[in-house]
Amino acid sequence: MVIRSGLPGLLNSISGSRATPCKNKITRGVQSGIFLVENGMGVRSKSHYRTLTFLTRKVSKPVFESAGISKVEAIGGNMKVNQVAATGLRRLSTFRPNKICADNTLLNNANKHRLSSALKNLNTVNTRFINTGSKNSTVGSGSNTSKAELTKNKKDAGLSDKSVRTMATASNVSSMRKGHISQVIGAVVDVRFEGPPPPILNALWVDNDGTRLSLEVAQHLGDGVARSIAMGATEGLMRGQEVLDTGSPITVPVGTPTLGRIMNVTGDAIDGFGPIKSENHLPIHRAAPSFDEQKSDEALLITGIKVVDLLAPYAKGGKIGLFGGAGVGKTVLIMELINNVANKHGGYSIFAGVGERTREGNELYHEMMATGVIKRASLVYGQMNEPPGARARVALTGLTVAEYFRDEQNQDVLLFIDNIFRFTQAGSEVSALLGRIPSAVGYQPTLATDLGSLQERITTTKKGSITSVQAIYVPADDITDPAPATTFTHLDATTVLSRQIAELGIYPAVDPLDSTSRMLSAHIVGERQYNVARAVQKILQDYKSLQDIIAILGMDELSEDDKFVVARARKVQRFLSQPFQVAEVFTGKPGRFVELPDTIEGAEQILNGSCDDLPEMAFYMVGDIKEAKEKAVEMLKTR
C-alpha cells in the first residue's frame, strides 16, 4: 500500500476523512515529528499501530522546547527514524482527523497556540506510513533515507547516544507488549494494556525525558490495568504515554565486571565510569535455595573486634544483625567490619546501601579506594533520597549480585546491608501507596513475608556461602518495634548497641548482655572461650545489679567481695572498648585488630585478679592485654 506524499492523502487512506486545510504556510522547522495514530483516528483494527514521520532538511532544537517537546529518539532502519514525544500529545487516540490540518499542524484546543507557532513553516520533505505491528512495513515516498544521513541528522540535532537509545536498549523492543499510562499518583503508575496485564513483578519500561524509567508491576486492577511502582522519579510522566513490558522482572548485571563499581537498583552504573559491561544478567526476584541445596556450617568468622569475637561470635555463612538507635555507631561498626573482615577474608564483598545517607556511601567508597578493598567489592546504592520503590528493591539487587558469586563461581561472599530497617520502611511506604490496610505501628501487613523473601535467600549452599552483616535501626530505642523484632527471628547472631554504654564513652557501644549468638557453644568455640565468655557476662550482670545500691548508698557500703566485683567489671567493660581503623582520622588513635586468643587471654587475666593493681583507665581503648599493661606503666610514670 503506497501512500501519496502529504498528510491529506494519508488521512483519506486510513479513515476516509478529509483533512481541514490550515492557513499557515510551512517553509522550515523541526527535524521530525512522529505521532501514533490509533483506533480513535480511524484505524479499524486495534492491532495496527500507524506511525507518521516527517523528515525535514533543517533541525531547530529550540522549536522542540518551545513546543513542550521533551524527547527526540532515533532508532534507525526502515522503521522509526526519529521520534518526538510532545507534551500533551503522547497518545492521539482522542483526536479526530479533522483536527489535523493539511499543513501538518496539530490544532487541538489545549495545544493549538503553542504547537501552531512551534510547527509553523515546517517544510515537509517526505511522509512515511509504517505499520509497526507488522513485519512488512508499507513505506510511502521518500523512504530511501540512508543510515549515514540519519547519523548526521542525530548529530545535527545535538542528541546524545543515551537519549537516542533510551527506548531501544532491549534486544528486540518491537516484540515487547505495549501499554499506555492511565494514571500517575506519586510513585504509583497505572498502565493499561490490551488484553491481560503483565504478571506481578514484571519490569516495565517508560521513557521519561530521555531516560529509561523502570516500573515494577505490583497489582492487577482489572480491565487490563496493571498498577506499578516506579524505581525512579515520576515527574514528567503523562497519561497516554507508551510503556513497554519487558516480559521479566528487573534484571541486573552480575559477575566479575561488577567488582569495583557502584550501581543502582536497576543495575545502571552511577560511579561515572560508564555502563557495566557484563555478559551475565539475573532477575532480582529469585527463589531461595531448596532444602537439599543448603549446607550447615559451624565455622567462626573472626572480626578482630574483641567484644564481638568473645561474647557474640559470628558464623561463617550466617546472618548477623547490628541493632541500635540513631547515632550509636552502627555504620562505623559495619565499616570496621568491612575493613577487617574483607581484608582478612580476601573474598568478594557486596555492600547494599539501603535508604541511608549519601554522604556515608561516598565515604565508604573512598575508604575502600584507599584500602584497596574496592577491587574485590561491588556497591549497590539506593539512598534515602530515592523513591520507595528503589529503596524496597535495592537490597534484592545486592543479594542477586552476591548469589551469582556464590552459585556460579563457588565463592564465599560477604554481604553488608545498611540499613535493613529502611528496607521495611520502604515496603511500608509502597504498601500504603498500593492502598493496603496497615498492621501494627503502621507497617505493611506483609512485613514478615517481605523480610522472609530476602532473608531466606541469604544462606550457605553446597557451592558457597553468603555471610550477611545487616545494620538494623531501632526506632526510639524500642527493640520490641515490629520491624527489628521481625528481623530477630532470621539472625544467627545479634550485636546490640546501647546508648547507655555510648554515653560512658565506650566504643564500640556493644551491650555484652543483650548481644547473642548461636555460635557461643562449648562444642563450637571450645571450653576455654565458652567459660571465659560466661564469666565475663556474669560479672557484668553482677555489676549491673549493684549499680542501684552504689547510686543510693555509695561504694563504701559494699562488701569487700562486691568491691572486687565492681572493680573487675569496670576493667572488663573498658577492656572491651577498642579503637577502630576507620575512625582513626577522628580519634587520632591507631586502630587495632585483636586476634581471638589475645582477647580470651586478656579477659581471663582481668577475671582471675592478675590485673587488680592496674588502674582501670589503662584498659580503655587498647588492643590486647599487653598494650594495657604498657599503658598502665606509662600512666604511673606521669603521676
Which residues lie below 8 Å from residue 445, measured CB to CB, with a gap of 6+? 431, 436, 437, 438, 439
Q: Indicate if 330 belongs to the active site.
A: yes
Place of cell 479499524: 44
Q: Tell me the CA end-to-end span of the chain in Å, nearest whole number.
A: 103
Catalytic residue among 4, 99, 286, 357: 357
Specify whether the CB–CB gap between 119 and 111 falls below 8 A.
no
Q: What is the CA radius of gyration of the chain?
A: 32
- Number of helices (H), then strands (E), belonging to the chain: the values are 19, 23
Selection from 240, 420, 452 nearest residue 323 by Cα = 420
| Omega of the bond leading into 419 within 30 degrees of 0 (cis) | yes
Place of cell 530505642: 477
Selection from 453, 455, 426, 428 nearest residue 441 by Cα = 428
473 vs 337, 413, 485, CA distance in Å? 17, 24, 11
Give the number of other CB atoms < 10 A from CB of residue 541: 13
Residue 541 pairs with which residues in a beta bridge? Answer: none
Task: Look at strands 377-382 and 465-473 and give their pairing.
Answer: unpaired
DSSP string, 532-571: HHHHHHHHHHHHHHHHHHHHHH-GGGS-HHHHHHHHHHHH
Residue type, 509: A
Q: Indicate if 293 belongs to the active site.
A: no
Distance of CA 455 to the CA centre of its chain: 16
Specify whether the CB–CB gap between 497 and 322 falls below 8 A.
yes
Specify whether the CB–CB gap between 201 and 283 falls below 8 A.
no
Specify whether the CB–CB gap between 493 and 318 falls below 8 A.
yes
Specify whether the CB–CB gap between 625 and 605 falls below 8 A.
yes
Half-sphere exposure of 40 (CA within 13 A, CB side): 10
Selection from 229, 189, 215, 203 nearest residue 426 by Cα = 229
Task: Determine whether 161 is exposed, middle or buried from the number of CB atoms within 10 Å of its CB (0-12, 13-18, 19+).
Answer: exposed
Q: Indicate if 44 belongs to the active site.
A: no
State whether residue 584 is helix, strand or coil: helix
CA distance 577 to 571: 10
- The set of cell numbers assigned to 164 is 537516542
Specify whether the CB–CB gap between 389 and 382 falls below 8 A.
no
Specify whether the CB–CB gap between 337 and 524 falls below 8 A.
no
**8-state DSSP, 394:** H
Instruction: State the sign of the Cα–Cα–Cα–Cα dihedral 62, 64, 68, 70.
Output: negative
Catalytic residue among 80, 91, 330, 629: 330
Catalytic residue among 216, 356, 386, 616: 356
CA angle 1, 37, 44 (to 5 degrees): 65
Catalytic machinery residues: 330, 356-357
